[in-house]
Structure 1
Amino acid sequence: MRRLSSKPSHAIFEPSGETRGCASGPSRVSPDGSKIAWLGFDDKRRSYENTQLYVGDSGAAAPRSLTAMLDRAIEDAVWAADGRSLYASYDDHGQRRVARIGVDGRVTPLIDNVAGGGLDRPYTGGEFSVSKGGTIAYTGGDVSAPADVWVLAGGKPRRLTTLNAVLTGSKALAPVRKIAVTAPDGRPIDAWLATPPGRVAGQRVPLILEIHGGPNAAYGPGFATDMQLYAAAGYAVLWTNPRGSTSYGAEFANLIDKTYPAADYDDLIASVDAAIKDGTADPDNLFVTGGSGGGLLTAWIVGKTDRFKAAATQKPVINWISEALTMDNTLFTSRYWFTKLPWEDPMSYWNRSPLSLVG
């Protein structure tokens, strides 16, 4: 489900005393002490809001967003030494990036291959830091290996480590490629396909659809041991960013606001159909799995269609009513995923519960 931030958060107040929004993570003081930068958003009780980069004076007064027009969620930001800009990371189309953002809001892209430290699934992620001289060190990579240490200096990226060269060099890894997917309503959907090593072109193989959690999260073209393991066993593996995914802007993420699960199901099925049309997937040998938000969609899929031979639903929500009333953050679901409390409108909860599709 929607990921609750592990970063400390606090409210931002205008001089009038009105709450401006929710801030997450530490505030950053500019080198000369005249300005403060922080990450936050105005809470509109939607399923998703872009976390924006704000700058205010030393008392956090007169705050203004530097990234409202970027329409992407800022993950981290640090001041440049001159105090006239900040370095910030954000996800765009399933890829973590780093850019320099001026206090005038001008965005200058710098790095497009930031990769996370996770290994099992290809979630977006990654870290960076900036030296006093402006050299950026970051975790970077692609589908071919776990992330390594990279630096950007003088405008040129350079890889410093090859920590898994021996391991990856001794394995036959699955090739990964992006495939074109169009949703029933005409929207393009990003999807990636890993195929078994040694597969002959045109050979159809069993397909596993692997669905990300969140659902406001994103997969990307990164290394993932789960995908490699499935491919090594002879399966093609498909992962996608259906509507509701992050890194495509707030409008795309909020297409599932107060409706999830709904048309994201159609996006996922369109992705499977694309893998079949591609000549890779065996239409009579389809499988599906996912965890958390992906587990819910897995359960929803097998309640809507019998196209899949088997499914593994991991840590899903099966009944929104019991989830909303017994989870460890009970106000969250009713506040952000529905318009009313469960006892006020039980059928809206039930109609979006995979359990309702049984029988």
Structure 2
Amino acid sequence: TLKPGYSKIYTVSAEGGAPRQLTFGRFDDRGPLSFTKDGRYLLFSANRSEGWERDGNQTEIWRLTLADGALKALTSRIGPDASPVVSPDGRQVAYVGYDDSRRRGYENQRLYVMDIDGGNSRVLTGGLDRSVDAPVWSADGRSLYVDYDDHGSVRVARVGLFSGEIETIVAGLNGAGLDRPYSGGQFTVARDGTVAFTQGSTSRPSDIAVAKKGAEARRLTALNADLLGAKTLGKVEALPVKSSYDGKPIDAWIVTPPNFDPAKKYPLILEIHGGPFSAYGPGFSTDYQLYAAAGYVVVYANPRGSTSYGEAFANEIDRNYPSHDYDDLMSAVDAAVAKGFVDNDRLYVTGGSGGGALTAWIVGKTSRFAAAATQKPVINWTSQVLTTDAYSSMASYWFGKMPWEDPQGYWARSPLSLVGNVKTPTLVVVGDQDLRTPVGEAEQYYQALQLRGVPTALVKVPGASHGGIASRPSQSAAKASAILAWFEKFQSPPK
């Protein structure tokens, strides 16, 4: 049993020795950390306000004086401020955050700069309708580098400190995940402005590449050439989709099996991302390649609520989730079926976390799928909010009221409310150490399906947390194999 504790900041000599604790109290103090050039101060982000346990979204930038441990909050607004980075001359601090006074489901994270004492704060990316992250100062202190996600693909941009001009330096970072194609990646900047970054593709996991302004990116590694070079992989292509709800364009992709023959009919898997405020992109995915190798066409999409399309698109599901994201996903399936090589009698659906909730929602709304696999789902929003480790954000931001204040509102958006409609054989998968969508959610759905006589099974992944359900290769392979075995069990003969 773990004893209660808090994250604290320590220093240790570069030559070794005992660590020295710098922060104290019943708060969590976390990085990334940034020293001032003269070594007098250390900056970090934390929520040290009264009642922080119930409002984790109100972090400030703190300045720690190393000589005596004195603390000063440099920011004080409603909302999160994080990732402080001190300028090369030590006079300014760059950081990211946003004004959270509206308490919406999603807000763009913006880049700010302030003086080292907290004065003269100003926003640099207020005109960019995207979230930025990971600020890095240029060597001359006249600009900053950030990354931002656009249509499921991450870019590195340089932001002028005085002009506010935003210039894309690298397009197409990759490297957030491996089992599924979440957008993401990492970068660093050399003194001469060369950017090193993670670069992948739909057929390869990430390698390391470098790029300079105005020059083509140059890949430095080929880490999976031996492993994948002799294998025939599924091909990933963009799939044009317009939502049946309002005609809104929805980014989607389709993966066709190796040695694909468009004259044949293939079964299809719709795979749904979690979050729900996150995004997929045109990246490598072990799950999708395994599904494709088993003979399935795979479709994935960024329905409304996904990030990288601006605040308005993400907030289409603000206090309204699930809702018309269902229509967007069904439209992606319809677009794939319309291509002529998908067997409409062999459709399958799966997804994890938010995608697990949407999977359970979908089979409660339609019987068009031959089988489903809901992974680490939310089933009952009341029990979810009262048992999850993310209780404050879900109740306050996604509903605006507590379960006892609006029980009908919580129930109306719970997949469990639709379980009486379910006819689709549904596998339920969850990690037995999941604290975000606790095991009880999966158990409720499994039990409800059993009581209704709907074919179901419950898979608990030993030792797996919410984010680590497939962190080990053996777990990732076992999870995909279990889903494929379930779908095979409910396959009708091909036409």
| Shared fold per TM-score greater than 0.5 | yes
Instruction: Report SS of the residue matched to 1:230.
Output: helix
Task: Give distance in 2, aligned partners of 1:48 and 1:154.
Answer: 32
Q: Which residue of 2 aligns with 1:235?
A: 296
Q: Which residue of 1 aligns with 2:316?
A: 255
Per-residue deviation at 1:154? Answer: 5.0
Q: Which residue of 2 aligns with 1:37?
A: 94
Per-residue deviation at 1:38? Answer: 0.2
Corresponding position: 1:93 with 2:93: no
Which runs of 5 or more residues in structure 1 are unaligned? none
Task: Give distance in 2, aligned partners of 1:24 and 1:16.
Answer: 11
Q: Identify if the C-alpha distance between structure 1 residues 346 and 200 changes in structure 2 by more than 3 Å, giving closer, same or farther.
A: same
Corresponding position: 1:119 with 2:178: yes
Per-residue deviation at 1:59? Answer: 1.7
Q: Which residue of 2 aligns with 1:61?
A: 119
**Which entry has the higher C-alpha Rg, 1 or 2?**
2
Q: Identify if the C-alpha distance between structure 1 residues 6 and 168 changes in structure 2 by more than 3 Å, giving closer, same or farther.
A: farther
1:281-320 to 2 correspondences below 5 Å: 281-320=342-381
Asked whether the equivalents of residues 73 and 91 of structure 1 are also in contact (C-alpha less than 8 Å), the reply is yes
Task: Give distance in 2, aligned partners of 1:50 and 1:6.
Answer: 21
Per-residue deviation at 1:19? Answer: 2.1
Corresponding position: 1:199 with 2:260: yes
Task: Give distance in 1, aligned partners of 2:192 and 2:212.
Answer: 9
Q: State TM-score, norm by structure 1.
A: 0.95
Q: State TM-score, norm by structure 2.
A: 0.69
Q: Which residue of 2 aligns with 1:74?
A: 132
Instruction: Report SS of the residue matched to 2:240.
Output: strand
Q: Which residue of 2 aligns with 1:169?
A: 229
Aligned length: 354
Per-residue CA deviation, residues 229-268 of structure 1 (Å, 9 max, x unaligned), is 0000000001100000000001100100000000000000
Task: Give distance in 2, aligned partners of 1:163 and 1:45.
Answer: 43
Which runs of 5 or more residues in structure 2 are unaligned? 1-29, 33-44, 47-58, 63-72, 421-495
Corresponding position: 1:102 with 2:160: yes
Task: Give distance in 2, aligned partners of 1:96 and 1:173.
Answer: 24
Task: Give distance in 2, aligned partners of 1:111 and 1:280.
Answer: 36
Per-residue CA deviation, residues 178-228 of structure 1 (Å, 9 max, x unaligned), is 010001201100000000111112422100000000000000000000000
Asked whether the equivalents of residues 169 and 212 of structure 2 are also in contact (C-alpha less than 8 Å), the reply is no
Q: Which residue of 2 aligns with 1:333?
A: 394
Task: Give distance in 1, aligned partners of 2:75 and 2:275.
Answer: 33
CA RMSD of aligned residues (A): 1.9
Asked whether the equivalents of residues 40 and 51 of structure 1 are also in contact (C-alpha less than 8 Å), the reply is yes
Task: Give distance in 1, aligned partners of 2:157 and 2:61.
Answer: 25
Task: Give distance in 1, aligned partners of 2:395 and 2:418.
Answer: 21
Task: Give distance in 2, aligned partners of 1:28 and 1:208.
Answer: 44
Task: Give distance in 2, aligned partners of 1:87 and 1:17.
Answer: 22
Q: Which residue of 2 aligns with 1:355?
A: 416
Task: Give distance in 1, aligned partners of 2:326 and 2:258.
Answer: 29
Instruction: Report SS of the residue matched to 2:90.
Output: coil
Per-residue deviation at 1:60? Answer: 2.4
Which of the pair is proportionally richer in strand? 1
Q: Identify if the C-alpha distance between structure 1 residues 90 and 122 changes in structure 2 by more than 3 Å, giving closer, same or farther.
A: same
Per-residue deviation at 1:18? Answer: 5.3
Task: Give distance in 2, aligned partners of 1:212 and 1:75.
Answer: 21
